[in-house]
Chain A
């Protein structure tokens, strides 16, 4: 008697309330599970312990450098790694709506939205950003990936994306940032690195190198040994912490860029700042300025030792002076390829570089250091309402700053910090502490115990632009435990 077909038909016969309710109710309950509307509900999920974290490798670099080649290498070579590759056809930000996912089987890339329930992501006081949530959804749906590679086409500044992917461990995200890889083209990169931006804005090639944990120096067959050494020296100047791997067609051992543990709290032992095998750099010691090398180890060792007088070999191809000598660098440390015909301050001021500061023997007060890092990294000149003046900038930057704001920063020569790394001797602890910073996010975590024989001390490495070495040194010294 009940009309179970379309409602468009005639009105059915109403049934009495009351006695038959029980019968119909039972019938209705039995049918209740069978009529689903549109999207099926989330599948039954057993309560399970969180699975191993899938590491994310972020790949950046100029168009034509070989990123696509690297991606194809990852997808097709028989290397035993099951990678998901996210191709991000984006302009300036991690616009996940335009992200494509490519599977190991090598089918055509499909939109990430097809893989995941990417609805208008509700930020709504959620701890994870959209890209992280999308990746987690991806991991859930196709639980057969060991690694995720994100290729950022055209993303000049990988900093914010990298920082967003570096989730707090407490969030137990199924994915986490593991390695930033910059691919450079041996034939073109020198020109790209030297390209001077008009308004003092950062050179994107330099910025990409600044954020790299690993630099793939690709297309080595198209450059001379001399060029390659110059490039390696230039990269090392900009980012003394990055490992540089020479390659052709991006054919590298993928183990160098996958699951490196660089951002994981557990990987403290490997954080000795200059101990990257790939560069062949000499181990840093207190006075270990290298002899000018003819071949082999191309990367200059850490420069800028407090009080270090020796300058390593000048990498300037135009410079004909032999033996240690000094070029005016207007506050920027270390040699680097530059045209000696144009030793202008503007070029040097805007160049990305590395400042290394050592504090041997004495311990740091961690709360003080944290406070100093907060002030250093976070642009405290926020957007003020009603025309009220923004709060004063940090003491570190005060001397250099005319007014606040990013546009002003470009013209007024304000320091920019892209990466920070450090191994710290912390007051009150027998453990080493590891400092890691990407863009605006940083963390200090406990590492292994200091060995009895080890000389305790701190070493901090800053990678950025217009870094005020003296001010940084002074600021750090103020964080030391009083004698």
Chain B
């Protein structure tokens, strides 16, 4: 329990009775655990809470904050040993948030394994959507967009990624949807938050965002049987030019790829377009993770690589729904996975950005199902364009974005 006094200085409150705390659990101190969960006003209060409190001393998914291990199946009291590639380190993660019973859930909510998805024919052949199903997917994508916008509004220096997770989790539930990442192969949170050198699948934790950071927020929701999936990279406070450039180039990579999406385009061409633009700016394209089919399932066919000269199968047809989600690195394209089994970081520790849209192929091209709304918080160059009201591109921008609010 934490409370700020009249000068904004935070004081810890007793876990048991919420009075100002003067004491702390010695075991928590020894283990370097979260102080606000260890604060007590008196030995009596400490003793009263002991049976419940001591649970945080053991790594647990339900009590206390711990380090994530084994894809989310494990917790550790201490940060794992690892040769970290940059400055970022994992922080402890919160217990899993509850999901109310009235929210319809996918099969993996209980087991961690998306069995229906794994066994589906849609792993091999691409489903063609039309009619009511398309409307359902559109609705899921709209909710996803609204949730991402809420997360964007919450991004600020000092805000933890765990707080972003809370915003996403609550906004998703409020819309009657299930946060798709939650327990997907044991993923412990409702959103992926990837800071600086993290490429993707960053796990929300106790680390506060710092001025100068960049952060990608990747939202996926499951509404009435359909999935919506999108992500954007935001600046935190004042960010250096190289990072702004990285973000804009990544955005343009995505939109250049969207521009060629129409019936008859082979999926393998997407990677050629993205790679060409990234290379022209001296940046690397991540190869390990690809765009994917989505709809009834979170991940299914087709596979959409972002790198050039790939052997991806398939040619776009009306009714196909999939994502394009290029991850672009300032330096090498290579990635290295953290001990938590999820977080993927650049091998050289330099920064990475990502943008993602979910698309539906239509007769004359494609529909961007997760398009930005007029109310969406502006991306960094949109802020600058708005503020000086002029038409010249902001400093560091590669090209003027073709088209507007998506």
Contact = CB atoms under 8 A, between A and B. Distances in A.
Interface residues of A, number: 67
Contacts of B32: 25, 28-29, 32
A1 B186 CA distance: 39
B76 interface: yes
Residue of B129, B201, B310 most packed against chain A (CB within 10 A)? B310
Interface string A225-254: 000000000000000000000000000000
A442 B310 CA distance: 10
B206 interface: no
Interface stretch (A108-116, A120-128, A188-196, A409-417): A120-128
B131 A388 contact: yes
A446 to B, nearest CB: 11
B259 interface: no
Contacts of B81: 33, 36, 40-41, 44
B21 A17 contact: yes
Interface stretch (B120-128, B234-242, B394-402): B120-128
Interface string B298-333: 010001010111110111011110010100000000
A11 interface: yes
Interface string B256-278: 00000000001000000000000
Contacts of A31: 30
Chain A binding surface SS class: loop
Given A119-B341, A127-B305, A2 B29 contact: yes
Nearest to A21: B29
Interface stretch (B2-10, B94-102, B140-148, B288-296): B288-296
B50 A11 contact: yes
A76 B307 CA distance: 42
A2 B30 contact: yes
Contacts of B279: none
A124 B201 CA distance: 10
Given A29-B32, A123-B299, A382-B125, A12 B83 contact: no
A4 to B, nearest CB: 7
B23 A384 contact: no
B80 A36 contact: yes
Contacts of B160: none
Contact of B266 (A17, A47, A370, A443): A370
A199 interface: no
A371 B263 CA distance: 13
Contacts of B25: 12, 14-15
Contacts of B35: 17
Contacts, number: 206
A198 interface: no
Contact of A170 (B80, B127, B132, B309): B309
Residue of B22, B25, B30 most packed against chain A (CB within 10 A)? B30
A16 B38 CA distance: 11
B62 to A, nearest CB: 15
B224 interface: no
Contacts of A35: 31, 77-78
Contacts of B24: 14-17
Contacts of A119: 70-71, 73, 341
A379 B77 contact: no
B376 interface: no
A126 B76 contact: no
Interface string A116-156: 00011011111110000000000000000000000000000
Contacts of B132: 386
A24 B30 contact: yes
Nearest to A46: B83
A41 B128 CA distance: 42
Given A11-B50, A12-B25, A47 B76 contact: no
Interface of B: 12, 21-27, 29-32, 35, 39-40, 42-43, 46-47, 50, 54, 57-59, 69-71, 73-83, 85, 112-113, 118, 121-122, 125-133, 184-186, 201, 266, 287-292, 299, 303, 305, 307-311, 313-315, 317-320, 323, 325, 336-337, 339, 341, 347-348
Given A1-B26, A15-B26, A383-B127, 7 more contacts: A14-B46, A15-B29, A27-B30, A120-B185, A125-B325, A378-B313, A385-B319
5 contacts: A15-B23, A28-B30, A42-B337, A384-B127, A386-B131
Interface of A: 1-4, 7, 11-17, 21, 24-25, 27-29, 31-33, 35-42, 44-47, 119-120, 122-128, 166, 168-172, 370-371, 374-375, 378-380, 382-386, 388, 390-391, 440-443
